[in-house]
Amino acid sequence: MFPPEFDYERADSVAEAVDRLAAHTQAGADAELLAGGHGLVPAMKAGDREPDAVVDLDTEDLVGVTEREDSLAVGALTTYSDLADSTLVREHAPVLADAVAEVGDVQIRNRGTLGGNLVEAHPAADPPAAVLAADATLVLVGPDGEREVPATEFFVGERETVVDPAEILTEIRVPAAGDGTNARTPETGTRDAGASGAGSTDAAYVRRTHPATGYALVGVAAVLDRDGETVTDARVAATGVVEHAVRLPAVEAALAGGPVDADARTAAAATADDDLDTGRFRSDPSASGEFRQGLLATYVERALAAAVV
Ligand SMILES: Cc1cc2nc3c(=O)[nH]c(=O)nc-3n(C[C@H](O)[C@H](O)[C@H](O)COP(=O)(O)OP(=O)(O)OC[C@H]3O[C@@H](n4cnc5c(N)ncnc54)[C@H](O)[C@@H]3O)c2cc1C
């Protein structure tokens, strides 16, 4: 189906795009930013979104991964395939590298952007779980200037975030995991054991894929900081199960200060739905809420195992 008519505008800079979005918003019109187009265009063709104007942001300023003192700065227009191919991301944010490698298919990964994915906030999108577990910070630029939002405060509802209509997500700042990071080597899929144990960080993202939609029925991201065999900090997040990606504080608390052996992982995974009311679990043609709730503990355990084994 062809979407109703809309104005198409190009913007060569963030400032110009913000001005254009703000002008439309002030005029009471509905304007959407165009990034990879793999969320917005299908929604427009399906009649789910009918913007009056589409602002196509085309600037290299928001593309790429930059190493900062203690973090990685990812430009919001960076594609999934660029992230999956990035050695910096593989080394310092392996949970994000794992998650973007799972998104859609080759065409989607070559066009879709991390920023578009996070703002789209699809309830079963993969990267939101990774940025939550990585404790990322998201940088927004709008008519009132720049602001930083922790990932834990970014997702507020199904396909809903704190981004205002004239705001642009420009950067995703991911705290760099320690040098002892146990990054999985893409070629072999095995863990290239860094200084495992002492001051190391283990991370992984695993998901159960729905065979028809290709989306996650449940996806779990886990990042564990360790000192020897003891977990000093755990960040575990799930996607696909409730209205938006969420952290799992009960699992994190069950792991913190303890070992990461199989028994500890099973015990922690058993607390996976402690923080989630049964009524929040998503039911749709792909699966019932009950089925997703049943899968959650299994995939938490698998993510923890994938991270440390
Ligand atoms: C067939 C298919 C399969 C898919 N499978 C998966 C999957 O398995 N896992 C998964 O995670 N995703 C999946 N997706 C979604 C895909 O990842 C999209 O790319 C993503 O949801 C949107 O990113 P985009 O760059 O294409 O954004 P766009 O479609 O351009 O924009 C999406 C929305 O975000 C807004 N936006 C975009 N960038 C910004 C920004 N920088 N600042 C503010 N607002 C912004 C737009 O205005 C729009 O409202 C799939 C999509 C398709 C079509």
Domain CATH code at residue 211:
3.30.390.50
What are the distances in angstroms from CA 60 to CA 63, 162, 170, 267?
A: 5, 25, 11, 46
Question: CB of 73 within 8 A of CB of 171?
Answer: yes
- Out of 143, 175, 207, a domain closes at 175
**For residue 286, is it within any domain?**
yes
**For residue 188, is it within any domain?**
no
| pLDDT value of position 178 | 55
In whole angstroms, what is the distance from residue 27 CA to residue 238 CA? 39
| pLDDT value of position 294 | 96
- Out of 175, 202, 233, a domain closes at 175
**For residue 155, is it within any domain?**
yes
CA–centroid distance, 245 to ligand 1, in Å, is: 15
Question: CB of 133 within 8 A of CB of 237?
Answer: yes
- Eight-state DSSP code of residue 58: -
CA–centroid distance, 273 to ligand 1, in Å, is: 28
Among candidate residues 207, 242, 236, the one with its CA nearest the CA of residue 221: 236
Co-location of 297 and 199 in the same domain:
yes
Mean pLDDT by 10 residues, the chain (309 residues): 92 98 97 97 95 96 94 97 97 96 97 98 98 98 98 98 98 79 46 55 97 96 95 98 98 97 98 96 96 98 95
Residue nearest to atom 1 of ligand 1 (CA): 104
**For residue 1, is it within any domain?**
no
Co-location of 244 and 293 in the same domain:
yes
Q: How many domains does the chain have?
A: 3
**For residue 157, is it within any domain?**
yes
Co-location of 71 and 47 in the same domain:
no
Residues 6+ apart with CB under 8 A from 138: 118, 131, 148, 149, 150, 151, 154, 169, 171, 172, 173
Residues 6+ apart with CB under 8 A from 154: 118, 131, 138, 161, 162
Co-location of 35 and 108 in the same domain:
no
Residue nearest to atom 37 of ligand 1 (CA): 116
Q: Give me the numbers of helices (H) and strands (E) for the chain, helices first please.
A: 12, 14
Residues 6+ apart with CB under 8 A from 92: 67, 72, 174, 176, 177, 181
**For residue 185, is it within any domain?**
no
**For residue 186, is it within any domain?**
no
Structural domain for 202, as ranges: 193-308
What are the distances in angstroms from CA 110 to CA 91, 105, 114, 136, 266?
A: 21, 9, 11, 23, 37
Residues near ligand 1 with C-beta < 6 Å? 32-40, 42, 76, 103-104, 108, 112-113, 115-117, 119-120, 122, 125-127, 163, 168-169, 214-215
| pLDDT value of position 1 | 76
**For residue 261, is it within any domain?**
yes
